Structure formats: structure tokens, C-alpha cells
Amino acid sequence: MIKQFFSTNTQSWSLLISRLALGAVILPHGMQKALGAFGGYGLSGTVGFMHGQMGMPVILVLMVIAAEFLGSIGVILGAGTRFMAFSITLTFFGAMFLGGHIHNGFFMNWFGAQKGEGIEYFILVLGLAISILIGGSGKFSVDNWISKKLK
């Protein structure tokens, strides 16, 4: 079971590119929530907002922050990639449906003309995350190295 968890197509450039793209897009969001970077609220501010105003349980807020921050780092490094991609998948699936984005239509709110953000960004994130979840980490990953050591 452990071998299967770390297994990947060791020659796959497409999984590497998908992994790096997903991590590069999600990491800044995680840094906003965890560190307050890029104009974010930081850990206490994010917990305060998501728990206090949105009503999410604190443990769930911490899991969202971990999925975006630690999950994206894991995806970039290719370390525990399937688990990290799964955590990102759950987080963004929840945000899309429970966060109300599904009610805002398809398109992003590029021009401020709609109530909120649509689901197009979420579809891209979920597509990348699910592809990585299925295929593994590809080339140049910690999982690839571990997989070779387990053989």
C-alpha cells in the first residue's frame, strides 16, 4: 500500500508541469492565510474571519489553511503528492459548493459586474489536483525518489 501511495510515472513531464502549476497557483493563497503575505489576514485573522463571520469550525479552518499552504508546498516538492492533491481537491470542492461560488455562475468576476467569483478557477484547480491525485507526482519529485528506494 505504501509503494502504491508513492508510485508515479517517473518519466512524466506532464505530471511535473501540472504539479508545479497547481502548487504555484495555490501557494500564494496559502501564504495569505497562514503568513499574511500578499495582503492576506495571516493565521489569526483568517481563523477569526472564517470562524467568526463564516461560522466554520476552527479545526476545519486550520485544515483549509494547511491544505493551501502545506499542501501546495508538498505538491511543488512532489512529497506525499497524492495526499496533498487530495487535500487541495477537498478544500476547493468545498469552497466551490459550500462557499457559494456555484451560485455566481461560471466566469470569474473580472470586471466587478457580478455578485462574486464564478467557478471557472475552481474547475481548473480541481482538474489539476485530480490529475495529480490519479497519476502521482511525475519527474523530479520526492515521491519518485522514495518509490525508487522502496523497490
Which residue matches cell numbers 487530495?
86
- Contact indicator for 67, 87 with CB cutoff of 8 Å: yes
Q: What percent of the chain has pLDDT over 70?
A: 100
First to last CA, the chain: 13
Task: Give the residue, 101 or 62, on which the prediction is more confident.
Answer: 62
pLDDT value, residue 68: 98
Whole-structure pTM value: 0.89
- Contact indicator for 88, 75 with CB cutoff of 8 Å: yes
> How would DSSP label each residue in 20-76?
HHHHHHHHHHHHHHHH-GGG--HHHHHHIIIIIIT---HHHHHHHHHHHHHHHHHHH
Task: Give the residue, 19 or 110, on which the prediction is more confident.
Answer: 19
For residue 15 the three cell numbers come to: 505530471
Task: Give the residue, 2 or 39, on which the prediction is more confident.
Answer: 39
Say whether pLDDT at 144 is over 90: no
Residue 132: pLDDT band with limits 50, 70, 90: very high
